[in-house]
Chain A
Amino acid sequence: MLTLQILANGLVLGGLYACIAAGFSLVWGVLNVINILHGSFIVLGGYLAFFGYVKLGIHPFASILIATPLLFALGYAIQRALINRMIAAPVLLTLTLTFGLDLMLSNAMLAAFTADFRKLILEPPLGVATLGPVVMPVDRLVAMILALGLTGLLYLVLSRSRIGRAVVAVRMDREAAALMGVNVKSVYAVTFGLGALMAGASGPLLAMIFPISPLTGPVYLGKAFVICVLGGLGSVPGAMIGGLALGIVESFGTLWFGPEHATTLSFVLLIAILLLRPEGLLGRKGYA
């Protein structure tokens, strides 16, 4: 009984984790940029959903349609205006740049929204679904399905669309792609924009489940790191598998070793993967 419930908990949590990590993994894999801003982008998406619901009555699911283009534009502009200028620099420098930008964004949010933890409370609530002995909150279920759907959509965009193929081509060989007439700078900006878009989509989903505050950005970022290493960098299915794996490991870790050691367990797993399979569960050279 309990095992089934724990498995279900892990699966829905894993779906959310996949959504947190997909955009982060894309940017890291294609641009070789560790985007510290990712957590704050998610929080920004969360605030858009929160204020959209509280002030204008826009359902958080509908907010995704507002948050995604906005975040895409923000990401695109940041890459075009700032990161592209130092894209050839060592990874530590772009990391420092995004770290600085993150300080600015999270402090701006602190100034605008304060550090108070707020919660998007749906009225009426979506309730819970019961399946035999397993109880599942509907908001989490829907969020998981949407998260996996969005991640799948990203996969399709990358593998089917022209711009997606350009992103993958740049990821495989920048020079060759440039020689084939791909506008590398523009592809970089689109990629960073897509990463921000995924963060913008997860924000409203997470806002229904977790409290929103500028202080939660680093928590999401930490999860994204672990998931990327678990699943393999630069692979959308990798982010999905990594996310689900982390969700399930944390759930059963809680059951077997206590909640205190659930995080420890996930980091032990992380070190084991780094030692035994450094490319991650699904990591490979090409993207998508």
Chain B
Amino acid sequence: MKLNMLASALVAGALATGGAAAQELIRIGAPLPITGPLSPEAQKQQRGYDLWAETTNKAGGVNVGGRKMKVEIVYVDYQSNTPRAVQSAEKLITQDKVNFLFAPFGSGAAKAASSVSEKYQVPTIAATASSAQVYDQGYKFLFGTFTPNDTLTEPLADIVRKQAAGVQRVAILARNDLFPLAIAQEMEKSAKKRGMNVVYFERYAIGTLDHASALSQIKSQAPHWIFATGYTNDLVTMRKQMADQKIEAPLVTMIAAPAYQEWIDATGKLSENVTSAAWWHPAARYKGKDIFGTTENFLKTFRARYKSDPDYAEASAAAAGAIFQMAIEKAGTLDRQKVRDALAAMNEMTFWGPVKFGPTGQISSLEPPVFQIQKGKPTVIHPAPIRQSDLQLGVK
């Protein structure tokens, strides 16, 4: 509610000030699901965007060909409704006259809205879209900060193959939802490619309250590796119910919840040795040339502002802003075509990691970290430059 009002106020304020102010400001449109079931995700995105805008404005603004310009994020609430996300994107471009756009949340909405930004030739960065299908439409103005889904499962499967040769039987339980299902299917491919035997693969419906019977079936298959996907509530319940049925396995991987502190808090001791992967992790140590600079500095700024640690979704949103800034400064103009070309040609280090976009616009340079909860803390086990510990087997 509060956010909704805030968003309306921002939009109303932006409309009231009109054209004159627009010349002094770089305005970036952000259609977000501020209300509805995806609202927690929208809050994360807003925290990232706002942190970038505040940090940049505090430093005087973006250097556009020698002139410092402040930035403003124009939010529109699309109420977790994808068709409305597309309308919101169009409204931001045609009525609010934003210079650039952040894509709406997730792969589905980002793909749907990308046809609008392509039509109006507005450079757009998607901070939360990983599926390759979002980028394979031949569009020139869409860029994304997430690598394809298989970059999360492949390194993990490699590590397991190398360090735990005995792991043969894999059970996969996936939330029947765009990203959680896609990542589970990638896992199935990664496992089979390495000669592992997928003994169980089922999907559960969105809104499933209880997983006891699916877990009983998994237990009866005696898997070595349990791979479960879903969001925080699903995976908190599932981890507890595994303990309830005394299900133990050398390896338990859960995506995406363990990347969030709230999951670790909610599962307590049961989080120990659960592995996961995400596109970014606070334990990463990159020396960026963006407004935030090093990952440490980004963490410091984020903690000072929000009194908590950023997760990959918040970091990605902030990175999307920082990347826009680098592209605008490189282009030295707000001309959409030139900024687009600067994005396409970008090859820079940031606090988020190395940023270089592939031919489809999806980032190709990033190596997503694999991590494991060890002694209650997420610990990076891959890639080598930021590794903190080795993979530990045994989840009880």
Q: Chain A interface (Cβ within 8 Å of chain B)?
A: 1-2, 5-6, 9-10, 13, 107, 110-111, 115-119, 121, 125, 128, 135-137, 140, 209-211, 213, 215-216, 219, 222-223, 250-252, 254-255, 258-264
**Which one of B231-239, B280-288, B330-338 contacts A?**
B231-239
A-B contact pairs, 14 of them (CB 8 A): A116-B262, A117-B263, A117-B266, A118-B262, A118-B266, A119-B267, A121-B266, A128-B244, A209-B240, A210-B209, A211-B236, A211-B237, A259-B208, A263-B207
**Interface segment, one of B183-191, B214-222, B383-391:** B214-222
The B1-42 residues at the A interface (CB cut-off 8 A) are: 1-2, 37, 39-40
- Supplied contacts A5-B245, A115-B43, A259-B213, 5 more A-B pairs, CB within 8 Å: A9-B210, A9-B216, A115-B39, A117-B266, A259-B211
* Contacting pair B245 A135 (CB below 8 A): yes
User: A259 near B207 (CB under 8 angstroms)?
Assistant: no
Contact call B202/A258, Cβ cutoff below 8 A:
yes
B197 within 8 A of A: no
A256–B357 Cα distance when bound, in Å, is: 46
Q: In whole angstroms, how far apart are the Cα atoms of A231 and B267 in the complex? A: 34
Residues on B with C-beta less than 8 A from A262 are 204-205, 208, 213
Q: Which of A211, A262, A263 has the most CB of B within 10 A?
A: A211
Bound CA span A107–B39, Å? 12
Q: A209-B240, A259-B202 are in contact. Are A119 and B266 (CB under 8 A)?
A: yes
- A2 cross-chain contacts in B, Cβ below 8 A: 216-217, 220
Among A9, A10, A119, A213, the residue within 8 A (CB) of B268 is A119
Indicate if B303 sits at the interface (CB-CB under 8 A). no
Say which residue of A6, A211, A260 sits within 8 Å of B233 (CB atoms).
A211
Dominant SS at the A interface? helix
Question: In the complex the two chains form, is A135's CB within 8 Å of B207's CB?
Answer: no
Q: Is the beta-carbon distance between A111 and B1 smaller than 8 angstroms?
A: yes
**Does B365 count as interface, using CB distance less than 8 angstroms?**
no
CB contacts (< 8 Å) of B1 on chain A: these are 107, 110-111
Docked-complex contact B216 and A5, CB < 8 angstroms: yes
- A9, A125, A216 interface centre (most CB from chain B within 10 Å): A9
Tell me the nearest residue of chain A to B241, going by C-beta.
A137
Min C-beta distance of B313 to chain A, whole Å: 14
